């Protein structure tokens, strides 16, 4: 059983308690979060830490109280130190300073990991946490200010193509390296981990390969069919220089991503165009 955010506000402890008391799910996947790109994280840090902490505490505590025997908490690769050795191993957690542009969100997610570990220790529950890399795919948020980098680029290049704009501005220098995982691969990984993983330590979920923001922008432009110039606004923040997850632990269990980046982006752009045609694309 699921509820949308309009049906159940996870920040409302009483509403969450009522839901778990009535439904009593045996397995819970905590994927809900307040998320956004560099601009949103930098502008609303109080909202990001407060909303995410409330959602996590409400859901995890209610799940334990009402008999959920298995739970998967989804964190984020931003929990790791800004300058962690690459690729980032799970044991890099809490070994150095965080990236300043999203530290409030990262602290909230770190708290979720520690809450999972505490519930395991105190109540002997099969609760686990997974740290996905940057995600993309159908259903993403394409808001012009609050989106993550990939949907933001798709929207920007699509609108530039329609307007026959001579150039498109990309934030930063274009040099940071990022890894991207399709949401359908993450869904498969979640099911796999619930059936095959039961340890207190978080486990990384990614593809094990990255590319620069410049390369990403050029790939998106090619898929969208935009032929103008790229202009990099170096006054805007780059964020973490590199954020590639070490996924050897997950690969050792027998799981690997299946959807290549070009294929996944082509599919996502087709979905975006279909949503635009029906007026259903999510922009907030």
Please give the average per-residue pLDDT across 142-164, as a whole number: 90
pLDDT in tens, 186-197: 999 999 999 999
105 is catalytic: yes
Q: In the chain, what are the domain boundaries? A: 13-278
Which residue ranges are tagged as binding site for substrate? Answer: 156, 171, 178, 238
Residue 284 has pLDDT above 70, yes or no: no
What is this structure's pTM?
0.92
Closest to 215 (Cα-Cα) out of 225, 235, 205, 230 = 230
Query: Cα(230)–Cα(241) distance, rounded to whole angstroms?
Result: 20
pLDDT score recorded for residue 238: 86
CATH assignment of 13-278, among 1.10.150.120, 1.10.260.30, 3.40.50.720, 3.90.480.10:
3.40.50.720
pLDDT in tens, 48-80: 999 999 999 999 999 999 999 999 999 999 999
pLDDT score recorded for residue 41: 80
Pick the catalytic residue: 80, 105, 226, 272?
A: 105
Residue 282 has pLDDT above 80, yes or no: no
Which residue ranges are tagged as binding site for NADP(+)? Answer: 74-77, 109, 132-135, 148
167-171/229-233 β-pairing: parallel
């Amino acid at each position: 059983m699921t509820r949308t955010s309009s049906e159940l506000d996870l920040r409302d402890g009483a509403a969450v308690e009522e839901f778990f008391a009535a439904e009593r799910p045996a397995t819970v996947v905590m994927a809900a979060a307040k998320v956004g790109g560099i601009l949103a994280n930098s502008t609303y840090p109080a909202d990001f830490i407060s909303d995410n902490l409330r959602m996590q505490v409400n859901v995890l505590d209610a799940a334990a109280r009402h008999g959920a025997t298995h739970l998967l908490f989804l964190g984020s690769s931003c929990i790791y130190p800004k300058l962690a050795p690459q690729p980032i191993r799970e044991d890099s957690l809490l070994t150095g300073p965080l990236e300043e542009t999203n530290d409030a969100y990262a602290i909230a997610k770190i708290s979720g990991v520690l809450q999972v570990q505490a519930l395991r220790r105190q109540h002997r529950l099969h609760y686990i946490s997974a740290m996905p890399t940057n995600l993309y795919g159908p259903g993403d948020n394409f808001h012009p200010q609050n989106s993550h980098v990939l949907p933001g680029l798709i929207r920007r290049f699509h609108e530039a193509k329609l307007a026959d704009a001579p150039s498109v501005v990309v934030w930063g220098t274009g040099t940071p390296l990022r890894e991207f995982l399709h949401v359908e691969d993450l869904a498969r990984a979640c099911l796999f981990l619930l059936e095959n993983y039961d340890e207190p330590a978080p486990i990384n979920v990614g593809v094990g390969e990255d590319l620069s923001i410049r390369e990403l922008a050029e790939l998106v432009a090619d898929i969208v069919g935009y032929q103008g110039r790229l202009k990099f606004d170096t006054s805007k923040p780059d964020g973490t220089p590199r954020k590639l997850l070490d996924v050897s632990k997950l690969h050792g269990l027998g799981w690997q991503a299946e959807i290549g980046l070009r294929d996944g982006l082509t599919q996502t752009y087709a979905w975006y165009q279909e949503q635009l045609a029906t007026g259903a694309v999510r922009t907030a």
